[in-house]
Structure 1
Amino acid sequence: MSQTPRFPIDRRRFLATGAASLAATAGLGSLGSALSSVPALAQGKPLVIAAPATPQSLDSEFDGSLGTIDMIGCLYDSLIAFKTIPDPDAPEILREDVASYPELPGGINAVGKLAESWTAGEDGTWAEFKLRKGVLSNWGNELTAEDVVWTWARKFALGAIGGFFTKLLAMSGPDNIVAVDKYTVRFQLPQASPLLMKLQLNLYNNILDSTKCKEMATKADPWARDFLANESAGFGPYRIKLLARGQQVVLEGRSDYYGGAPAIAQVLYKEVPTSATRVSLLQGGAVDIAQTLQPLEIERLKSVPGVKSETVSASPMFWVELNTKFAPFDKVEVRQAMNYAFPTKEVLKTIFRGTATAMDGTMPAIYPGFVEDTAAYSDDLDKARELLAKAGLPDGFETTLAYNAGDPIQEPMAILFQTALRDIGVKVSLKKIPAGTFFNEVSGRTQPMIFFTDTPWCPDPLYSMQLYFDSKTFSNYGNYANEKVDALLAEGAVTADTKKRFALMDEVQKIVGKEAPWIFIAYPNFTVNRRANLKGFTYYTSNNMRFQDMSFG
């Protein structure tokens, strides 16, 4: 059935009347609640995005959903950023240069953002940043070193996502970040950390306007959590003009941005919950970008005039957690058997449809330090049977596989896997988890097998492996534990020598791949589905869109 509307959607009518009422007249079905009418448009054509959801919070300490990361990338800036280079497979698209550069400070090819220059110790214990002078926040307050100090003090105090960063760097307290003078800030660690510089480029290491935050803080809320959940206080290219959760966000370009006003002066980020409707709106010209579409929808868009889908190799990983606290997944042979039994080739062909590649390692393949073929399990049911027999389970066993009801590709994938396992005597019951509670099931470690997809935002083997396979880390959702892996990770965490650290992480990847705490499925690509006249797509390893890069041509 075609997803094309019965007649072209008038863009101005969509912007002015709200998507729900328009959808009804266009035969697209309800979008849920009607969208608010759009504020008076800035000069020039606005950029309109159909997104699955608006952000639940604008505070990067507490929310990592798609809507939030898209907002953070437009409202805030970090001290430095990766230099961008043309994608080797799609030269018209830029991407971060995440390769390792041992001769450069921190081993990264960086450009200045809020910092105009920087130096770092070769031993990984310190780094110093000279800030740009005259940089203003969206509230008109000038950037100073005190903003950086306060931002990191907030991370320590709240202990959320920023708390993970402080622990990863083995920081002892807020006094590890010092304002040397008004425009110079110094990070001084109690011991070496190879990630000191790399973490400065993380999307969630943005710098806050401490003057505005202190103004909005209260005795009950000293770190302005309530304010930052609904507003921005940063030095990025956009400001919030309207936030209506469940409906839309309106961003306004800043003419006083230190990097120059963005080419697109206004961004309308609209909540459109179903992917089929997002496709229809893109086809009809009512929106410029349709986010997170299904592989079959992406395939069909390739033949639609005026629409372009761009896909690039990316950092996301898609796997099944094998919870080692549930028998028989405490046995290595059983976990290996699950990998050999998973129908990877069929899943890549019929479900991902060319938008993903086989996952043959334990971290993103695009990151430096990746070791290929450490988790290359071919589709081999005979090998799976052999391993089950070796584990003392020649007749198989019974278990449960949980999947996210909010992700349409997971159910057919689960059914394919269920069928394959039946051939080796393993009886699997499928359990559909509502999207709203799915992450609770993952983080609560309540299921023996559960699908999951995630991305380590720091392009480094230590960060990637420690995030998921250190026995003490929160995000080790399968309860995997190996004393040697823990020891290698601990040694790598205080090793500034890149060559030595990569060698340590090579060994970790090989151990983890062999012990198979996951069913290693796929590396999904990052795809942007857009109107053909929208230019300037840049791929970031945080897998968000930064609208300041774009323009209409």
Structure 2
Amino acid sequence: MDNNPVDQSAFGLSRRSLMKGGIALTGLSALSSVAGVTSAFGQSVPTLIVASPQTPQSLDSEFDISLGTVDAYGVLYENLIEFAKIPDPKVPGVMREDTGSYPDKPGGVNAVGKLAESWEMDPGARWAKFKLREGVISNWGNELTAEDVVWSWRRKFELGGVGLFYLATLGLTKPEQIKAEDKYIVSFSPENPNPMLVRIMANLFAHVFDSTKCKEVGGEEDPWAKEFLRNETASFAPYVVERLERGQQAVFKAREDYYGGKPFFDRVIYREVPTSAARVSLLRGGAVDIAQFLQPLEVIQLKNVPNVEVNTIDATSMLWIELNAVVAPFDNKLVRQAMNFAFPQEEIIKTVFQDLGAPLIGAMPWFYPSFTDQYWQYGQNLEKARELLKEAGFESGFSTTLSYNAGDPVHEQIAILYQSALRQIGINLELKKYPAGTFYNAVSERKEPMIFYQDNPWTPDPGYAMSLYFDSKSFVNYSNYNNKEVDELLYKIARSADESERVKMSQRVQEIVMEEAPWVFVAYPNYHWAHKTGVKGLTYYTSNNIRYQDLSRS
């Protein structure tokens, strides 16, 4: 998600690592600015200060999936359910979502209730019903009812933004398929069986609005409250917006009457600090509690700073290079395979990522259900790359272009190493730098022969994750990859209630994708939580955002 509000790549999708370009807020100006906000609230109020690349651009999830906005959704909105939390096996004191498969549970997921206190799903995956908690009150004093859930999903039909992805994923083709069975029971009945009916309700973009307030402020002129929801919230979540100054800061205030209990931090100050160096400086100096989206070397340096902790966590993020399958010579599978055999993946993990990540050896996050690495065949082998180029008719090599994000230093470092490796097999690689503010426009236009992309599928389901990138009709299929068998299998995966069959089909998709190599597979970058000593309670979510209601201070 970039500097501009809508990047459909994430359609619920996902979350890319965005670094906004612009003038750095550094030194005393940054420190005094943040400190001034803090002192304005006094010292008696528990306040969390976060340094991030970007503030929220809009608070309407139908139209905005930019970096700061996605972080805001996690505290300003609430879902029907969430995945159960389990201790991270590698990082003491950190929790993570349980993304495993549980055939004996409704929807096959280990979930706990949020706005819903219970739920059930048809064994054939034809419907799911959710019983809401009674007495839950919104930030505007209105009680949660099934009509709020119905209205929230019908809004997706009417506005035709991000919500269209979710409707298509669930096979919901008309509003009547979402019904208020009574005041506190809502049902979903898609046109075809859909095994994701429960699982997707934990997705960050499946939250519930206070429809009473939205109708009140929108009236006849704006029945879906688009103008109101750009700057305000109407929800049942733990925080509300106290102040939103785009390009500077957002301030979120804890609700005293939140049904789950008031969060520890009364206020969260979300400060825009465009450069990672400035964010590091603020954390080192004690002016902020959390510094987000740092570079690998910065993370390593912070590990030795007094009063600072850095937790490095296995994440859903995947970084790859799109190989445009409709642009020669990447319309040739053998050339795409050669590009992977030429890629110095091991060297890049060690030198660029400083071993703070792992080789990308699959088509989805490695800890998602049905993942397999048995079809991984690459790793740098220049002789094999030469053989494949010769077989494809490019024995003398060719020239092409690799585009990268000027706002992400990792891209340039990788590109230079890759350029050197390709030169050894006769490929002349020209590097093309895009400003951070326009880079993702270049990605979505799908015209560049090679371009970096980083994303993370937010729902731990193989059908969801792989449909995003490999279904020929998906907007996020930026490599223009098209395989009829893959399309057919992904269609069936999304409509089968037989988990064993879903696994077989998912693994077949992975086999085809790894063979046809629509990407240059780069890395699984880790998630880094850099924070003051004493701030605790992190849960790692597949959406790669922090829910500040989880945190406290010792």
Query: TM-score per shorter chain, which class?
Result: over 0.9
In the alignment, the residues of structure 2 paired with residue 487 and residue 60 of structure 1 have an alpha-carbon distance, to the nearest angstrom, of 30
**Equivalence for 2:498:** 497
- Secondary structure at the counterpart of residue 371 of structure 1: coil
Matches within 5 A, 1:295-444: 295-444=296-445
Instruction: Indicate yes or no: 2:549 matched with 1:548.
Output: yes
User: Take 2:404 and 2:51, find their aligned partners in 1: how far apart are those partners?
Assistant: 25
Deviations 1:190-228 (A, max 9, x none): 210011111111011000000111112144432111111
The answer for the alignment partner of 2:522 in structure 1 is 521
Q: Does 1:54 align with 2:52?
A: no
1:246 matched to 2:285? The reply is: no
Runs of 4+ in 1 over 4 A off after TM superposition: 20-24, 28-31, 33-39
1:409 alignment partner, SS class: helix
Kindly tell me: are residues 21 and 394 of structure 1, through their superposed partners in 2, closer, same or farther at Cα, counting changes over 3 Å? Answer: closer
User: Any conservation in 2 of the 1:148–1:185 contact (CA below 8 Å)?
Assistant: yes
Counterparts of residues 40-439 of structure 1 (less than 5 Å): 40-41=41-42, 43-439=44-440
1:75, 1:234 within 8 Å by CA — same for their partners in 2? yes
RMSD, aligned α-carbons: 1.9
Alpha carbons of structure 1 residues 172 and 357: separation in structure 2 relative to 1, 3 Å: same
What displacement does 1:40 show? 3.1
Moved more, 155-164 or 270-279: 155-164
1:517 CA drift (Å): 0.1
State the one-letter code of the partner of 1:275. S
Change (3 A) 1:253 1:30: closer
Counterpart position of 1:536? 537
Distance in 2 separating the partners of 1:264 and 1:532: 16
Aligned to 1:12: none
Please say if residues 313 and 366 of structure 1, whose CA atoms lie closer than 8 Å, have aligned partners that are also in contact. no
1:373 to partner: Cα distance: 3.9
Distance in structure 1 (CA, Å) of the matches to 2:35 and 2:452: 33
Gaps of 5+ in 2: 1-22
Q: How many Å apart are 1:487 and its aligned residue?
A: 1.2
Aligned with 1:69: secondary structure?
A: helix
Residue 375 of structure 1 contacts residue 520 of structure 1 at CA under 8 Å; is this kept in 2? Answer: no
The structure whose RCO (Cα within 8 Å, separation 6+) is larger is: 2
Gaps (5+ residues) in structure 1?
1-19
2: CA distance between counterparts of 1:231 and 1:34? 25
CA distances 1:75-98 after superposition (whole Å, capped 9, x unpaired):
111001000000111231100000
In 2, the alpha carbon distance for the partners of 1:267 and 1:490 equals 42
8 Å CA contact 1:362–1:375 kept in 2: the answer is no
> Offset at 1:140?
1.1
Displacement of 1:283: 0.5
Distance 1:168 1:449 in 2: 28
State how far apart, in whole Å, the 2-side matches of 1:489 and 1:21 are: 44
Contact 2:140 2:213 in 1 (8 A): yes
2:448 is matched with 447
Structure 1 residue 343: Cα displacement: 1.0
Shift of 1:35: 8.6
Check conservation: 1:368, 1:460, Cα contact below 8 A: yes
Question: Cα–Cα, structure 1 residues 494 and 150, in superposed 2: closer, same or farther, change >3 Å?
Answer: same
Q: Is the 8 A contact 1:147 1:209 kept in 2?
A: yes
**C-alpha deviations, 1:415-465, integer Å up to 9, x for none?**
111111111000011100111111111111020000000011110111111
1:42 and 1:178 map into 2 onto residues whose CA distance is 48
In the superposition, relative to structure 1, how do residues 35 and 162 fare at CA in structure 2: closer, same or farther (>3 Å)?
farther
CA contact (8 A) 1:403 1:451 kept: yes
How far is 1:24 from its partner? 4.8
Query: What is the TM-score with the length of structure 1 in the denominator?
Result: 0.93
Give CA deviations for 1:346-381 in whole Å, capped at 9, x if unaligned: 111111112110011111101111011433411111
CA distance in 1, matches of 2:542, 2:181: 32
Residues 218, 224 of structure 2: 8 Å contact kept? yes
Q: CA deviation at 1:345?
A: 1.1
Letter in 2 for 1:535: K
Q: In the alignment, is the contact (CA less than 8 A) between 1:241 and 1:252 conserved in 2?
A: yes
| Per-residue Cα deviation, 1:248-299 (whole angstroms, up to 9, x for no partner) | 0111111100000001111110001111110011001000000000000000
Whole-angstrom CA distance in 2 between matches of 1:158 and 1:412: 41
Q: Give the aligned residue type for 1:503.
A: K
SS of the residue corresponding to residue 418 of structure 1 reads helix
Tell me, in whole angstroms, the C-alpha distance in 2 between the residues paired with 1:300 and 1:372.
Answer: 33
Q: 1:465 to 1:289 in 2, by over 3 A?
A: same
